[in-house]
Structure 1
Amino acid sequence: MDITIHRPDELSGSLRQVWHRAMDESPEYANPFLAPEFAAGIGRYHGGAQVAVLREKGQPVGFFPYERNSFGVGRAIGLGLSDCQALVHLPGVTWDPQELLRASGLSVFEFDHLVEEQRPFGRYVTGMFASPVIDLEHSAGSYPEWLRATYPGLAKTTLKKERRVGRDVGEVRFVFDERDPRLLRRLMEWKSAQYRRTGRMDRFARPWIVDLVDHLFQLRDEHFTGVLSVLYADDRPVAAHFGPRSRSVFACWFTAYDPEFRYYSPGLIMHLRMAEAAGRQGVRVMDFGRGDKEYKDWLKTRELRVGEGFATRPHPVAAAHRLWRRPVRGLRNTVLAHPTLREPADRLLKTVGTLRTPGRADSGGAAPRAR
Structure 2
Amino acid sequence: MRSISNGTHITIHRAGQLDASLSRAWHKAMDESPDFANPFLAPEFAAGIGGCRGGARVAVLHEDGEPVGFLPYERNSFGVGRAIGLGLSDCQALVHRPGITWDTGQLLRACGLSVFEFDHLVAEQQPFGPYVTGTFPSPVLDLKPGDGDYAQWLRATYPGLAKTTLKKERRLGRDLGEMRFVFDERDPRALRTLMRWKSAQYRRTGRMDRFARPWIVDLVDHLFQVREEHFTGVLSVVYAGDRPVAAHFGPRSRTVFAAWFTAYDPEFRYYSPGLIMHLRMAEAAARDGVRLMDMGRGDKEYKDWLKTRELRVAEGFATRPHPVATAHRLWRRPVRGLRNTVLAHPTLREPADRLLKTVGTLRTSARTSSAGAAPRAR
Query: Do the two structures share a fold, i.e. TM-score over 0.5?
Result: yes
2:283 equivalent in structure 1: 276
Larger Rg: 2
Alpha-carbon distance between aligned partners in 1 of 2:268 and 2:184, rounded to the nearest angstrom: 22
1:204 equivalent in structure 2: 211
The 8 Å contact of residues 17 and 47 in structure 2, kept in 1 or not, is answered as no
Q: How does 1:47-58 map to 2 (within 5 A)?
A: 47-58=54-65
Alpha-carbon distance between aligned partners in 1 of 2:215 and 2:75, rounded to the nearest angstrom: 17
2:337 equivalent in structure 1: 330
Alpha-carbon distance between aligned partners in 2 of 1:296 and 1:258, rounded to the nearest angstrom: 20
Q: Return the letter of the residue paired with 2:340.
A: N
Would you say 1:238 and 2:245 are equivalent positions? yes
1:155 equivalent in structure 2: 162
1:354 equivalent in structure 2: 361
Alpha-carbon distance between aligned partners in 2 of 1:125 and 1:295, rounded to the nearest angstrom: 28
Q: % of aligned pairs identical?
A: 83
1:8 equivalent in structure 2: 15
Would you say 1:177 and 2:180 are equivalent positions? no
Q: Structure 1 regions of 5+ residues with no counterpart?
A: 362-371
Alpha-carbon distance between aligned partners in 1 of 2:143 and 2:40, rounded to the nearest angstrom: 19
Q: Return the letter of the residue paired with 1:266.
A: P
Deviation at 1:155, TM superposition (A): 0.6
Q: Return the letter of the residue paired with 1:273.
A: R
- Give the length in aligned residue pairs: 361
* Cα root mean square deviation, aligned: 0.9
The 8 Å contact of residues 161 and 265 in structure 1, kept in 2 or not, is answered as yes
Q: Report the TM-score, using the length of structure 1 for normalisation.
A: 0.96
- Which of 120, 130, 148 is the equivalent residue of 1:113? 120
- The alignment partner of 2:16 has SS state of helix
Deviation at 1:208, TM superposition (A): 0.4
Q: How does 1:116-127 map to 2 (within 5 A)?
A: 116-127=123-134
Q: How does 1:18-57 map to 2 (within 5 A)?
A: 18-57=25-64
Q: Return the letter of the residue paired with 2:363.
A: R
2:376 equivalent in structure 1: none
Alpha-carbon distance between aligned partners in 2 of 1:61 and 1:256, rounded to the nearest angstrom: 39
1:287 equivalent in structure 2: 294
Runs (4 or more) in structure 1 with deviation over 3 Å come to: none
- Which of 305, 316, 322 is the equivalent residue of 1:298? 305
Q: Structure 2 regions of 5+ residues with no counterpart?
A: 1-7, 369-378
Alpha-carbon distance between aligned partners in 1 of 2:111 and 2:157, rounded to the nearest angstrom: 46
Deviation at 1:359, TM superposition (A): 6.5
The 8 Å contact of residues 354 and 360 in structure 1, kept in 2 or not, is answered as no
- Which of 248, 251, 262 is the equivalent residue of 2:255? 248
Q: Return the letter of the residue paired with 1:316.
A: P
Alpha-carbon distance between aligned partners in 1 of 2:364 and 2:171, rounded to the nearest angstrom: 32
Q: Return the letter of the residue paired with 2:21.
A: S
Deviation at 1:351, TM superposition (A): 1.3
Q: Report the TM-score, using the length of structure 2 for normalisation.
A: 0.94
Deviation at 1:99, TM superposition (A): 1.1
Alpha-carbon distance between aligned partners in 2 of 1:167 and 1:356, rounded to the nearest angstrom: 35
**Residues 245-302 of structure 1: CA distance to partner in whole angstroms, max 9, x if unpaired?**
0011000000000011100000000000000000000001000000011110100000
Deviation at 1:235, TM superposition (A): 1.5
Alpha-carbon distance between aligned partners in 2 of 1:360 and 1:5, rounded to the nearest angstrom: 45
- The alignment partner of 1:292 has SS state of coil
